[in-house]
Structures are given as structure tokens and as C-alpha cells.
Amino acid sequence: MFAQREFRAVFLAGSLSWVGDYVAKAAVTLLVFQQTRSVALSAAAFAVSFLPWLLGGPVLAALAERYAYRRVMVACDLIRMALMLVIAIPSLPYQAVLVLIFAATLANPPSQAAKSALIPQLLTGDRLVLGLSLNSSVGQAAQVVGYVFGAAVAAIDPEVALLFNAATFGFSALLVRFGVRHRPPVMNPAHRSHLLRETREGFGIVFRTPVLRAIAVLVFSAMLFSIVPEGLAAAWANDESRGAVSAGTAQAAIMVANPVGFILGGLLVSRLFGPARRLKLMRPLAVLAPLMLVPVLFDPPPLVVALLAALCGFAVAGMMPMANGLFVQALPNGFRARAFGVMATGVQVIQGFAVLVTGVLAERFPIPIVVGVWSAAGVVLMAVASLRWPDRQTVDDAIAAASLANADPPPSRPDGPASDGTVGDTSDSHAGDGHRRHAVT
């Protein structure tokens, strides 16, 4: 896999920008809390990076199909580098920081969609499966490194952490520009319809196909509660009543716990159990994930909170690979980038919503009570989603329909996905596939 020179460049570029992103999240969250001493504003600083997905994620992801993927990735990296340099200006008001963070993250949807669609052009067969799996694991590892490094550096000087993030975007742009050869856009002008129509077709293929819809609901439900300890970590760790460990250590421990658990869960569950057993475990693990966070109701020390968050991440990782695999098998190739936009948007919006709401609630109620009750509600939600999971025949039919659609040559005019989830006449069908980190890539 790594013998493929272009994949090496894309892999390293993505790893660098991921580390930089999480360093910046830790730094900005702490920077805003230091300026305002407000839990809600600190949570808003964490959640604002998810907002662009709500306002236009699927459209921006669909836009990436219209241009060369290399060009999209390089342009997005340069834009984010420039904006991070501005955010790093000392004594910048927190209002300006929030606006600039929002502007920088507008480049995330097209960049991630382009990468998602480019990787299957670089790897095929089992190498593609391995590449996607490795990409997901490294994304989680980058989150751990970024949060630890970001929390440590931000405690000394948040601006230095932001300059580091800008540098990672610069190196990423160089790696992609000189390490990946130019390819023409998969969707040429003759295949285009209307950007909003193309975006709508992406929503249609996900939510009109029962199996894809069930996976989306399960993934979105998992994201609704598993992100909360990370988003509230700065305020939680800086609670003046906690003196057993330093605030920086507590923040780093809470922020990295979920991704560490995710890495361990993904490795152990995939190694210990075969596909049939993993499929049976998927729904019990979905319910177990929020259940792991309910004990924070008893206000344990930060390191115990981190352990519970790690167990939550472990359970989420146990169910996610099977969900990802089913999503890929039931998805026609011609909708891969747009389906990525839909799923990534849902994940980002759900995570941002969860952090914002719990942050506001934490202004009025103790953080342990907020997180514990929120997680208990998550147990109920996951139980309902698990009970409504489609039967095996429905899953097999969806996979067969996708395989049949993938075997047919792309037609000449777009009619979009049929209501049963199969693909109709789609002139904008393209060969690009891909699929992603916390959700489906």
C-alpha cells in the first residue's frame, strides 16, 4: 500500500493536518475560556468548527466533485493556513477568533470530500480496504497526539499552538501539490446538472435506502453523546474544586480518552471476532456506549471520567467498522463523494449541537449532572435505533442492488436515485469513491 507514492503523500498530508486541527481545537477552547471564564463560550469555541457542515457541508462536498481533487485539497490547505496565522495574532478578541475559526472550517467539507474520493483512485481491492482502515485509525491517533500536545502547549501559549496548526496546513499543501499527479475532474461540465440538485441526490441515496438510513441513524446517535466529554473538557478540568491533578493534565486526559478507547476498540474487536460475530455485537455495543458515561452522575475525579470516556470510545469503535463496511457495500459508486458529504455533515452537526447544548446546560447545572443525564437519554435513543435495525434480507437486498448499479455503465442524463435506493439515470455518476473517520468515509 505504501509503495504507492501518491498514497504516501495523501496519507502524510492528512495526518499532519489532522494533528494540527486537534492542536488548534484544544488551544482555541482554552483561549476562549481564559478570556471569558464561560463554559458556554468555551463549548461554543469547540463547536463552531462543526457549524460549516450545518450551513453548507453537503453543497461544499458536492462542489469538490466539479474540480480536480488535488487542486481542491491544495487550495483548502492554503486558505486554512492563512486564516490560522491571523487567529494566532496575540490578544485577538474571542469574537474575532470564533469568526475566523468558522471561516477556516468552511474549507473542511470540500477538502475532506476530495480526499475521500481521491483515495480509491490511488488504491484498489484489498489495498483500498486497508488504506481506509488505516486512515481511520491514524485519524484517531492524530486526535490523541493533537489534544495532548495542544493542551500542553496552549497552557503555556495558545498562539504557539495555532502557529503550529498553520504550519501543518502549509506542509500538507506542499505534499499534495508535489506528491500527487494532476487528474481531471471526474464530473466534467457536460455531466453537471445543478449543484443543489446534485446535493439533493446525495441526501436521497442515503435516506431513501433503508439500510443506509439505518446506518446513518445509528452513527448519528453515537456521535450525539460520545463527543460531550471532549467538548466540556476545558471547563471540567479547570473546576477549582479539583486539585488531585493539574488542569492541563486533566483536560488532556479527558480529551484524548475517547479516541484512545476508539483505537483500542477498533483493533481488539476486529482481531478477536469474525464478521458474523461483529455484526451480532454491533447493536449491543451501540447501547453500551452511552451507558459507559452514565456513572459520571456521581461526579468522579477527572481521571475516572477519562476512563469512562475511553470505555465509551471502545464500544463505539466496536460497532463502527461493521457499520462502515455495510455502508460501503450498499452504496452505489457514483454517489460516494456526495454520500460522504451527507454523513460527514450529519456527524459534524450532531457533534456541534451536542457540545453547544450541554455547554449551555452546564452554565445552570453541574457538568457531571448534565453529562450523566445526557448519556442516560443516549441509552434510550440507541436502544430504539437498535430495535429498528433492518432484517438480514433487507441488508442483502440493498447490497445486491448496489452491486448491480455499480456493474452498469453510467448513463448520459441525471434522474437521481430512485425511491428504493437504487440508482436511476445519473449523468453525474463518477468513479470516485471514498469513505471516512468518525462516520463513513
Q: For residues 434 and 119, what is the distance between their CA atoms, to the nearest angstrom? A: 6
Residue 123 has pLDDT above 70, yes or no: yes
Q: For residues 341 and 352, what is the distance between their CA atoms, to the nearest angstrom? A: 16
Residue 233 has pLDDT above 50, yes or no: yes
User: CA 113, 114, 120: angle at the middle one, nearest 5?
Assistant: 100
Highest mean pLDDT pick, 44-48, 80-84, 136-140: 80-84
- The lowest-confidence range among 134-143, 208-217, 261-270, 424-433 is 424-433
Residue 291 has pLDDT above 90, yes or no: yes
pLDDT band for position 435 (cuts 50, 70, 90): very low
Listed residue (144, 294, 127, 300) closest to 230, CA to CA: 144
pTM of the entire predicted model: 0.64
Collapse the DSSP code of 423 into the 3-class scheme (helix H, G, I; strand E, B; otherwise coil) and give the result.
Answer: strand
For residue range 343-378, what is the model confidence (pLDDT) as tens digits? 877 887 788 788 888 888 888 888 889 989 999 998
More confident residue, 418 or 64: 64
For residue range 386-396, what is the model confidence (pLDDT) as tens digits? 888 887 778 77
Residue 417 has φ and ψ, to the nearest 5°, of -75, 140
CA-CA distances (angstroms) from residue 117 to 46, 85, 95, 336? 27, 29, 35, 7
Residue 87 has pLDDT above 60, yes or no: yes
pLDDT band for position 77 (cuts 50, 70, 90): very high
Residue 413 has pLDDT above 50, yes or no: no
Nine cell digits for residue 283: 447493536
| Cα 186 from chain centre | 24
Q: For residues 313 and 251, what is the distance between their CA atoms, to the nearest angstrom? A: 17
**pLDDT over 70, % of the chain:** 80
- The lowest-confidence range among 105-109, 133-137, 252-256, 434-438 is 434-438
R_g of the chain computed on alpha carbons: 21
Which pLDDT value is given to residue 410? Answer: 46
CA-CA distances (angstroms) from residue 310 to 7, 70, 207, 234, 313? 31, 36, 31, 17, 5
For residue range 16-43, what is the model confidence (pLDDT) as tens digits? 888 887 888 777 887 788 778 777 787 7
Mean pLDDT computed over 382-403: 81
CB distance 204 to 416 below 8 Å: yes
For residue range 160-205, what is the model confidence (pLDDT) as tens digits? 888 888 899 999 999 999 988 888 776 655 555 566 676 777 777 7
Listed residue (65, 22, 64, 18) closest to 171, CA to CA: 18
Question: Which residue's entry shows cell 434480507?
Answer: 393
Nine cell digits for residue 318: 466496536
